Homo-oligomer: A and B are copies of this chain.
Amino acid sequence: MKARVYVTLKGGVLDPQGKAIHHALEGLGFAGVNDVRAGKMIELDLADGTSDADIDAMCSKLLANTVIENYRIEKLG
């Protein structure tokens, strides 16, 4: 079973990586970029039968820092 976890910074949190990408895109001549936010994606290859609660625990204990980050789990079956 595969699952993908998307980790993004919460709304008010400064995102220097996103700012750097934004600046670099403008430097390359791409106009019309209003904002850039950088996040992480983690692809998990799990044993069949891994419970949703287990995946959620992996996220909250290790994959995301829930003080400043949100996470979203997508199961690929």
Point out residues on A near B: beta carbons under 8 Å. Answer: 6, 8, 18, 21, 24-25, 28, 30-47, 49-50, 54, 57-58, 61-63
Chain B's closest residue to A15 (CB) is B43
Chain B's closest residue to A38 (CB) is B42
Please measure, in the bound complex, the distance between the C-alpha atom of A58 and the C-alpha atom of B24, giving whole angstroms.
10
Please measure, in the bound complex, the distance between the C-alpha atom of A35 and the C-alpha atom of B51, giving whole angstroms.
16
Residues of B within 8 A of A38 (CB): 40-43
Cross-chain contact of A45 among B35, B39, B49, B58 (Cβ < 8 A):
B35
Please measure, in the bound complex, the distance between the C-alpha atom of A57 and the C-alpha atom of B32, giving whole angstroms.
14
Is the Cβ of A44 less than 8 Å from the Cβ of B36?
yes
In addition to A36-B43, A38-B43, 7 A-B residue pairs with Cβ atoms within 8 Å of each other are A32-B46, A32-B47, A37-B42, A37-B45, A38-B40, A39-B43, A40-B41
